[in-house]
Amino acid sequence: MTSKIHVALCFDTNFWAPAYAVMRSICLSTSRRKELVFHLLHMPLTAEQRTDLEGIVGEFGSELAFYPLGEMDSFGDFVAGLPRSGRWPSVVYARLMLPDLLPQTVERVIYLDCDTLVRAPIEQLYAADLGGQPLGAVQEALSPFIPLRRDMRENADIFDGAEPYFNSGVLVIDLAQWRTLDMKAQIGALEASRVLSRLYFDQDMLNLIFRERWQALSWRWNTIDAHQAHEALNPAILHFTQASKPWHLTAGILHSTAYARWYRHVMTNKLFYRFAAHRRRRWLRRLLRLER
């Protein structure tokens, strides 16, 4: 009997196509496609967007599990009062609820941001030795700038710049250990200490909650700020944290975004250009102030 490989993504209606590309890149990079279970924590999707995502099942035989966050009172209660912005909507906090939302039989899960691209067998990451820790992650390339903020001293009373600080875009999570934590209470403690509004969203929260309780993974599993120069290093997971994303039409021409052409074909030309049209319509609605 083969074991399942569990992967979680969190996204809203504006990131359904990148979520599809992440899943398809995983399936193209492993021979264990039928053992994959994708847990999709999402805000409301259109029927067409859901059909796009379900294409993974038809092409590869993987399993999808949908979690409609907008219909869950528990999610609304959890994110109420947490910092957010246009770039960082409330759905980013869904990863903090994975221990509660995923079936209790799931003991380990890989979480991936939707601006990642997988190029190596995901089962290698899934089997990573966490050294008894509840979390595996890659050290943030921009530390200590991100935790300490302006002049690397703004949050010096919260973080120690000499301490390792991880990027939360790729996580290997021991759910059994996470379930022993009361995440809501942990965040409540941060709020009570009056530091919550000063944090860099969920990434800072996770670094504080799991301070000295995470296992460092190889940079190959989260190649941050992925540029074309990284292609020579054979990265396992690319993380497009820069402003230019691989789904931008000029990513591989005007910008040095790694594997831009490769990415377009992973998303498929049909969906790539339909997603581009979606983004143009959204830009126009924002310009006309019809959408925030």
119/245 Cα distance (integer angstroms): 17
pLDDT band at 252 (very low <50, low <70, confident <90, very high): low
The tally of CA atoms less than 13 A away on the side-chain side of residue 215 is: 17
What is this structure's pTM? 0.94
The arithmetic mean of pLDDT across residues 60-80, rounded, is 94
pLDDT band at 82 (very low <50, low <70, confident <90, very high): confident
Which tens digits make up the pLDDT trace of 212-244?
999 999 999 999 998 999 999 999 999 999 888
Residue 1 has pLDDT above 50, yes or no: no
Length of the chain counted residue by residue: 292
233/220 Cα distance (integer angstroms): 8
SS3 content of the chain, % helix, strand, coil (to 5): 45, 15, 40
Nearest by Cα to 222 from 143, 283, 281: 143
Contacts made by residues 46-49, CB under 8 angstroms, sequence distance 24+:
46/13, 49/13, 49/16
Strands 166-174 and 108-112: antiparallel
Pick the CATH number of 5-287 from 3.40.50.300, 3.90.550.10, 3.40.50.620, 3.40.50.10470: 3.90.550.10
Per DSSP, the three-state class of 152 is: helix
268/225 Cα distance (integer angstroms): 23
pLDDT band at 284 (very low <50, low <70, confident <90, very high): confident
* Res 283: pLDDT: 77
| Domain regions of the chain by residue span | 5-287
Residue 109 identity (one-letter amino acid)? V
Residue 28 CA, chain-centre distance (Å), reads 19
Among 49-63, 84-98, 218-232, the minimum mean pLDDT is found in 84-98
219/208 Cα distance (integer angstroms): 21
Residue 279 has pLDDT above 60, yes or no: yes
Q: Which two tokens stand for residue 225?
A: 């700020």
* Res 253: pLDDT: 66
Which tens digits make up the pLDDT trace of 18-42?
999 999 999 999 999 999 999 999 9
Contact predicate 62/31, CB 8 Å: no
What single DSSP character describes residue 168? Answer: E
Give the phi and the psi of residue 267 in degrees, each rounded to 5: -70, -20
